[in-house]
A and B are shown apart, each in its own frame.
Chain A
Amino acid sequence: MPDEIKLTHTSALILQTLGAGYRYGFDVMEATGLPSGTVYPALRRLEQLGLIQSTWEKESKAQAEQRPARKYYKLTAPGERTLAKAVQRYPLLQHMKGAS
């Protein structure tokens, strides 16, 4: 992984959204207002860069609640560092509210 990854504003926004506690694709869409065709490819790219990590929810837990298991995303340590730098670069990202 390169030492310093420069993210686009959209990627930084998605990273910030995940950092704020939103955990899956549709959640990120709702928080950012970005379309699905932007959010999901961006999630793939961020994961490839090692800035986020995805995990599938346990089937047993999802079945108990009678819903399909979903894929969660969370920031990695390099992702948190990159996000901190991105926030300096894009100050408006600081205004993102956390997930309830």
Chain B
Amino acid sequence: MRGPVWLIRPAFLVRAASLLVPARRREEWMREWLTELHYAREHAGEARLMAFASGAFHDAVWQHRDFWTLDRISQRAQSALFCMASIAAVVVLIVLASGFLPMTRGVLMPLPYRDAAGIVTVAQSGTMAMRAGVSGQAVELWRENSVSFDDIATYRWQVAPGGGAPLSAWVSPNFFHLLGAKTSGGRSFEGDALAGCAAGPGANPEANPEQCVILSYDFWRGVNGGSRITLDGKTYRVMAVLDPGFWFLSPRIAVWRIGAPGPAERTGVVARVRRDFTKKEVETELGVILRDAGMNEWESMVELTGVATRVHSALWSFAMGLGLAVIIILPSLRVRMPSWNPRAATFFAAKTALLLAAVLLCGIEFTHATSITMLGGTDALTEPLSTWLFMLGSMGVLVWSIADQRRRCRVCLRRLGMVAHVGCPGCLLLNWAGTELVCMEGHGMLHVPEMAACWQEPDRWTSLDDSWQGLFERS
């Protein structure tokens, strides 16, 4: 088959190599090489001509040796493009460090449960007490007396005592069946398939001599896919391996053990609501059941939240943080932002959006916000931390973004340089005192007063016309 012939022509090689040459030198560099190629063609065969043209790459790379001086690098670092590239690199770093955003994908993709719209989490004593979980006694009362649930299951999670992986969770035998989870190996979760497998703290060891676990697909692959596994010095039978896409609470949970909570233990509760019941009706019914059993008003306050809502609340948490940050920053935004032009506005919007995306991804991936919002029974500090991280991060982004914008040239958007302090700071009444910054391309000068006064603009931009260009020419 005949390939694209133009790709292996010497002139094409020279033109391709010219892309590596700094733009300022490119025209003359290419002119010389194409001329030399013209003369080389008269004296050399096609094969030698190709070797000759290949040398253009070496020459092109060499051009950078003296081109990228420290001075020039610092000039490049002032450009808007460099700023955008740096922020984009941070975002890419977050994506790589998190292992391609497992949490974020969990938030944005459809949940891996059968009919997820009908699945709810249940909080006792109001949502503020959600993290404290629901007592095992209340769960048993609801299981026995409620007519509004198809099924009700419990879950708790913990990090291994040594602090190392794997992360494990305790769930009731009907947990996976309730969610409609699929297996990629071992038993299915139909009916009471896992009832004899309980190994949790509330389980009777004599009733279940065969302790077993359910593993996440990735963890199972990581331990070479055996049918038995040793954890904390004990050997467990691998009862089932979950479908690769399955997650609940956190994609990092590797080991699922079966065990119902004791009556006094607090646990997270997940339930499937019957279609003909509204959320309000179910909440009322569950509250009545608890009151009838002798629990007080506070303990009988029940609140249901859809699992999908809980998962997406990580995004709401970010939106709330961003909203608060904007409210706090807004008063200074009007005063401090430079006058708008479409290019500057686009740069500001893109820069801020990328930075906010970085904060959002950091918040979701590294504080495990999605797990927390679905949870009963984790440490109470983590959820506020993620919300605070969002808010402080958003504020930091907005403050930096505005400050950066103010210190950029209104024409070329480069960072201003050659900082000079002008005037006498103690003579503010009669004289102007402040800092002056200059665009290194000679587009203008920014005057920043030492102290903001109500009778003067905070920053004043003076455009420099072409007659100043001689001062800014570079070799």
A25–B55 Cα distance when bound, in Å, is 12
A99 → B minimal CB distance (Å): 14
Residue B24, interface by CB 8 Å:
no
Nearest-neighbour CB distance to chain A for B67, whole angstroms, equals 11
Q: Does A68 sit at the interface, judged by CB under 8 A?
A: yes
* Cα A25 to Cα B38 with chains together (Å): 12
Residues A38 and B55 in contact, CB atoms below 8 Å apart: yes
Q: Tell me which of A9-17, A40-48, A80-88 binds B.
A: A40-48
Question: Is B39 a contact partner of A70 (Cβ separation < 8 A)?
Answer: yes
Enumerate chain A residues within 8 angstroms of B38, measured Cβ to Cβ. 67-68
> Which B residues lie within 8 Å of A35 (CB)?
51-52, 55
- Answer whether residue A94 sits at the interface, using C-beta atoms and an 8 A cutoff: no
- Would you call B54 and A68 a contact (CB within 8 A)? no
Cβ of A37 under 8 Å from chain B? yes
Which residues in chain A, 2-29, are within 8 Å of chain B measured between CB atoms?
Answer: 24-26, 29
The residues of B that contact A44 with a CB separation of less than 8 Å are 59, 62-63
List of A residues within 8 angstroms of B57 by Cβ: 37
Q: Are B59 and A40 in contact (CB under 8 A)?
A: yes
By beta carbon, the residue of chain B nearest A57 is: B35
CB neighbours of A40 from chain B (8 A) = 33, 55-56, 58-59, 62
**Do A36 and B59 have beta carbons less than 8 Å apart?**
yes
Q: Find out whether the CB atom of B36 lies under 8 angstroms from the CB atom of A25.
A: yes
Residue pair B34, A68 in contact (C-beta under 8 Å): yes
A77 within 8 A of B: no
CA distance A26 to B32 in the complex (A): 11
Chain A binding surface, main DSSP class:
helix
Q: What A residues does B40 contact at CB under 8 A?
A: 26
Measured in the bound complex, the distance between the Cα atoms of B25 and A41 in whole Å is 14
Q: Is A96 an interface residue (CB 8 A)?
A: no
B66 at the interface (CB under 8 A from A): yes
In the assembled complex, B334 has its CB within 8 A of some CB on chain A = no
Q: Is B43 on the interface with A (CB-CB < 8 A)?
A: yes
**Residue on A with the closest CB to B38?**
A68
Given B34, B51, B52, B59, which contacts A41 in the complex, CB threshold below 8 Å?
Answer: B59
Give the shortest distance, in Å, between B40 (CB) and chain A (any CB).
5
Tell which of B35, B51, B59, B62 touches A70, judged by Cβ atoms closer than 8 Å. Answer: B35
**A89 CB-CB contact with B under 8 Å:** no
Q: Which residues of A contact B52 (CB under 8 A)?
A: 26, 29, 35-36
Asked whether, in the complex, the Cβ of A26 is within 8 Å of the Cβ of B39, the reply is yes
A36 touches B43 (CB 8 A): no
Q: Is the CB of B35 within 8 A of A71?
A: yes
Instruction: Give bound CA distance, A71 to B27, whole Å.
Output: 13
Nearest CB of A to B383, in Å: 60
Q: Are B43 and A26 neighbours in the complex by a CB distance under 8 Å? A: yes
Q: How far is the CB of B432 from chain A (nearest CB, A)?
A: 45
How far apart are the CA atoms of A26 and B63 in the complex, in Å? 19
The residue from B31, B32, B66 contacting A25, defined by CB atoms under 8 A apart: B32
Task: Give A40 to B34 CA distance when docked, in angstroms.
Answer: 13
Bound-state Cα–Cα, A22 to B34, Å: 19
Q: Shortest CB–CB separation between residue B205 and chain A, in angstroms?
A: 76
Residues of B near A41 (CB, < 8 A) are 58-59, 62
| Residues of chain B lying within 8 A (CB to CB) of residue A24 | 36, 39
Chain B residues near A30 (CB-CB < 8 A): 43
CB distance from B33 to the nearest CB of A (A): 8
B389-416: which have CB < 8 Å to A?
none
Give A35 to B117 CA distance when docked, in angstroms. Answer: 71
Distance between B36 CB and nearest chain A CB, rounded to angstroms: 5
Q: Contact string, B38-72, partner A, CB cutoff 8 A, digits 1/0?
A: 11100100000001111111110011001000000
Interface centre among A25, A29, A48, A71 (most CB of B within 10 A): A25
Find out whether the CB atom of A26 lies under 8 angstroms from the CB atom of B36. Answer: yes
A68→B34 CA distance, assembly (Å): 9
CB pair A70 B36 closer than 8 Å: yes
CA distance A56 to B33 in the complex (A): 13
The complex places the Cα of A71 from the Cα of B62 at a distance, in Å, of 19
Q: How far is the CA of A25 from the CA of B43 in the complex (A)?
A: 13
Closest 3 CB pairs of A and B: A36-B55, A37-B58, A37-B55
Please name 14 pairs of A and B residues whose Cβ atoms are closer than 8 Å in the assembled complex, sorted by A. A24-B36, A26-B40, A35-B51, A36-B51, A36-B54, A36-B55, A37-B54, A40-B55, A40-B56, A44-B59, A48-B66, A70-B32, A70-B36, A71-B35
Interface on A for B, CB 8 Å cutoff?
Answer: 24-26, 29-30, 35-41, 44, 48, 67-71
Assuming A40-B55, A48-B66, A71-B31, what are 13 further A-B pairs, CB within 8 angstroms? A25-B32, A25-B36, A30-B43, A35-B51, A36-B52, A36-B55, A37-B56, A37-B57, A37-B59, A40-B58, A44-B59, A69-B35, A71-B35
